[in-house]
Structure 1
Amino acid sequence: MKAIVKSLAGEGATLQDVPTLTTAPFGHVLIKVQSVAICGTDFHVYSWDAWAAGRVKPPVIMGHEFSGTIVEVGEGVTSLKVGDFVSGESHKVCGHCLQCRTGQGHVCRNTQIFGVDTDGCFREFFAVPEASVIKNDPRIPPHIACLQDPLGNAVHAAMQGELAGRSVAVLGCGPIGLFGVAVCRALGAGVVFASDTSRYRLELAQKVGADHLFQIPGDDLEAAVLDTTDGQGVDVVLEMSGAPPAIQQAMRLARPGGRVSLMGIPSRPVELRISEDIIFKGLTLHGVVGRRLYETWTTMQSLLANNRINVEPILTHHLPFADFEQGMDLMRSGQCGKVVLDVSTAD
């Protein structure tokens, strides 16, 4: 079968023939993959930045965002059957650490990520543990079903508190930030501000529900927020960029008593004015990683299946499987939202 493999340390990856999976191991299901999406993590691995070089041990099959159909059920599997249309949780958790046993599996101490720590889904057939598989509502099309992993990040970040009628600022309109805008709009947020360095991505943010767009640097987001909110600041900030200036700005934008969800990953330490911008303002900060297992999946499946959220504009490129390098080039350029690969074209 065809697979996209990170075979060597260094930039790039290759489309290779690898042994075809024909059976599902104990506790696993074998999935015929239909659609996969390129994640920022995949781009880090492909580009071989410092994080990837310190974490990934080639050779490894890349990818963790997918949808497909179960073609075989392994011994011991009880909740799934052949023919089920499924996606999967990218974080393979242990199930026995303190976090897993207390409803915090999203921060499992022993997490492995598909396509990073173990072979992933950029291939025609993929064997996945039963516990990591999510049965999709058939009303969700495959090209959208494969986007649920990153959409879940945004749902998790946005739903750390009340959203209905609240003012929100989304800082960073990469794919997860764009999903954040769409989630806030779907869940009844009031005014939604969006900022990014890219005009292209700000236009995507407008398509999924942002009311006010700010290109950084240049546009004065803070002045506009204060003017619109009668000098208070916003109720909720979703920091999705990881840019140190944006993280610092997030604290200033939030009103006293507001909340900030931090999901962007900074590349260096960030200096914060803890007293003035956090303690004396009584802010609530949430560090957000992954999806709450499996509450987040249930919420986003309902939003998607019942057409309560519009994420179609975020999927900007749908490519044949063999054109994955074009997808990586689009990621590098920033002139894309989500890029989906059609695995059925791999034959």
Structure 2
Amino acid sequence: MKAITKTHMAAGLKMKDIPEPSNLKPTEVLVKVRKVSICGSDVHIYKWDDWAQKHIKPPMTVGHEFAGIVEAVGEAVTMVKVGDYVAAETHIPCQHCYQCKTNRMHICKDMKILGVDIDGAFAEYVRVPEIVLWKVSKEIPEEFASVMEPFGNAVHTALVEDLTGKTVLITGVGPIGAMAIQVAKASGASLVIASEIKPFRKNLAKINGADVVIDPREENLTQKVMKLTGGDGVDILLEMSGSSTALEQGLQSLTRGGSASILGVFSTRIQIPIDELITFKGIKLFGITGRKMFETWRIADQLLKSKKIDLSKVVTHMISFKDWEKGFELMLNGECGKVVMSVE
């Protein structure tokens, strides 16, 4: 089968022919991949940056965001059957640790990640344990089903608090930030403010329904937020950028007693005045990783099934699997939302 692989400990990826997965374990499932989408972590692997060098051990197949059809099942599989339309959680839990046993599989102590720790989904077929599969509602198009994993990040980040009538600031409008705008609006937020510096992404914020888009290089973000909220500050901060400056500005813009959900990944240590911005303001701080298994998936499925969320405003490019290099070029240039590839 065709697969996009990391063959060497250097920049770049390669599409090559590799054997199809075989010899399923009793609880494993073979999925015929129909759609895959490119994640920022795939770009890290492509570039072979510090993160990739610490986590990836070539040779291996990369990719983790996918949707497809169940092709075969192991003898002990009970939750899916051949022909089911599925997407997958990419955090593969051990099912034995303290976190897994207390309904927190998404932060499993001994977690493996698809396309990082084991062979991934940028291939014609992928083998995964049944525990990670989600049967997708048939009303959801395949190109959106392949994006349910990152969409789940947006859902999880936005909905740790009730957003009904709340004012929300989203710092960083990549694809997940754009999805979070829609989630906040669909959940009853009264005002959604987006902070972004890149022209393409500022436009993405507008397309996805942000009430106000602020470029913090051109305007003082905190002063603008205070003006928009009558001097109170926003109720909720969703930090999606991984920028220490954005985090500090976001916390400055947060009302006393407000909540901050942090999904952005920070590449270096950061220094912020914790007493001033968190402790004395009585801030609730949530660290977000992955998606709750499977509470978040249920919410994501229903939002897409009911068309409360329109991911056509986030999926900006649909290309063929064989044109994967074009997809990575778009991601590297930053001139795209989500890039989805059709596996033919």
Task: Letter of the 1:181 partner, please give it.
Answer: I
Deviates more, 1:320-329 or 1:239-248: 320-329
Matches within 5 A, 1:159-238: 159-238=159-238
SS in 2 for 1:230: coil
- Alpha-carbon distance in 1 for matches of 2:98, 2:208: 38
Structure-2 residue corresponding to 1:151: 151
Asked whether the 8 Å contact 2:62–2:120 carries over to 1, the reply is: yes
Equivalence for 1:141: 141
In 1, Cα distance between the equivalents of 2:340 and 2:216? 28
Give, as a single letter, the amino acid of the residue that structure 1 aligns with 2:25: P
TM-score by length of 2: 0.98
- Once the two structures are overlaid, the 10-residue window that deviates more, 14-23 or 262-271, is 14-23
**Whole-angstrom CA distance in 2 between matches of 1:222 and 1:15:** 46
**Deviation of the 1:220 alpha carbon:** 2.4
Match of 2:49 in 1: 49
Q: What is the CA deviation profile of residues 165-222 of structure 1, one whole-angstrom value per residue up to 9, with x for unaligned ones?
A: 1100000011111111111111111110001111211111111110101123122221
2: distance between equivalents of 1:51 and 1:73? Answer: 34
TM superposition shift of 1:23: 5.3
Counterpart check, 1:266 vs 2:270: no
| Structure 2 contact 221–249 (Cα < 8 Å) conserved | no
Aligned to 1:319: 319
Secondary structure of 1:116's aligned partner: coil
Q: Secondary structure at the match of 1:81?
A: coil
Q: How far, CA to CA, are the matches of 1:247 and 1:225 in structure 2?
A: 14
Aligned counterpart, 1:76: 76
**Which letter does structure 2 place at the counterpart of 1:307?**
K
How far apart, in 1, do the equivalents of 2:63 and 2:85 lie?
19
Secondary structure at the counterpart of residue 154 of structure 2: helix
Structure 1 position 282, deviation (Å): 0.4
Amino acid at match of 2:335: Q
- In structure 1, the residue matched to 2:303 is 303
Distance in 2 (alpha carbons) for counterparts of 1:216 and 1:146: 33
Partner of 2:17: 17
SS at match of 2:309: coil
Map of 1:105 onto structure 2: 105
Matched, 1:130 2:130: yes
Which amino acid letter does the alignment assign opposite residue 226 of structure 2? Answer: L
- Mean CA deviation greater in 317-326 or 60-69: 317-326
Aligned positions of 1:49-68 closer than 5 A: 49-68=49-68
| 1-structure distance, mates of 2:170, 2:161 | 15
AA aligned to 2:74 is G
Amino acid at match of 1:77: V
Q: Which AA in structure 1 matches 2:152?
A: G
Tell me how far apart the structure 2 counterparts of residues 328 and 219 of structure 1 sit (CA, whole Å).
32
CA contact (8 A) 1:25 1:127 kept: no
Specify the SS of the correspondent of 1:3.
strand
User: How far 1:85 moved relative to its partner?
Assistant: 0.3
Q: How much identity, in percent, do the aligned residues show?
A: 42
- CA root-mean-square deviation: 1.0
- Structure 2: gaps of 5 or more residues: none
Deviation at 1:22, TM superposition (A): 5.0
1:245-260 to structure 2, matched below 5 A, reads 245-260=245-260
Contact 1:37–1:340 (8 Å) recurs in 2: yes
| CA deviation map 1:138-176 (0-9, x unaligned) | 000000000010010111111111101110000001111
Aligned partners of 2:109, 2:23: CA distance in 1, in Å?
Answer: 30
How many residues matched? Answer: 344
Instruction: For residue 21 of structure 1, report the CA deviation from its aligned partner.
Output: 2.9
Residue type matched to 1:252 in 2? Q
Distance (Å, rounded) in 2 between the aligned partners of 1:314 and 1:209:
11
Q: Secondary structure at the match of 1:308?
A: coil
SS at match of 1:185: helix
Alignment partner, residue 292 of structure 1: 292
Corresponding residue SS for 1:272: coil
Residue 57 of structure 2 aligns to which amino acid in structure 1?
K
**Residue of structure 1 in register with 2:282 after alignment:** 282
